[in-house]
Amino acid sequence: MFIVLGGAFSAQATEYSMGSAARMGPGYFPFWLGIVLALMGAVVLIGALAKRAETTSISRFDFRILFLVVGSVVLYGFALQFLGLYLSVFLLVLISSLASHEFNWKVAVANGLFLVAFSYLAFIRGLGLIFPLWPSAFGN
């Protein structure tokens, strides 16, 4: 799957201008991302076909996990405008963490706080993107 998706993305990216590493065109990043994905798929495939590979069984599909992860992302998309970046990211992490079989409140809260700080540093400070940071009721 990784090889096919990576190859397809790379092939489609060649339709756009590539540019160079110093001055990237619109096709540069998707092309190399597809190449990396295809290489990662090749590594997984070779590892799975090795004689030392472990045999694993796939358990029954758990729709609760799917609902929690996808639902938290959808909730984030709707909540960002009303709750702001900080609370939306924190809620996203907490709700999606409930999908884990090893869920721990302390770890989930620590991850949420870390990702709130990372989101601020990367997107607000680093890239200069404009997001509402706090709920609109706070008047920002």
Is the pLDDT at 36 greater than 90? The verdict is yes
pLDDT band at residue 52, thresholds of 50, 70 and 90? Answer: confident
C-alpha 124: how far from chain center: 18
Say if pTM beats, i.e. exceeds, 0.75.
no
pLDDT in tens, 81-130: 888 888 999 999 999 998 888 888 999 999 999 999 999 898 888 888 78
pLDDT band at residue 137, thresholds of 50, 70 and 90? Answer: low
Alpha helices in 14-138 (DSSP H): 28-49, 63-97, 105-119
- What residues contact 9, with CB distance under 8 A and at least 6 apart? 30, 31, 33, 34, 37
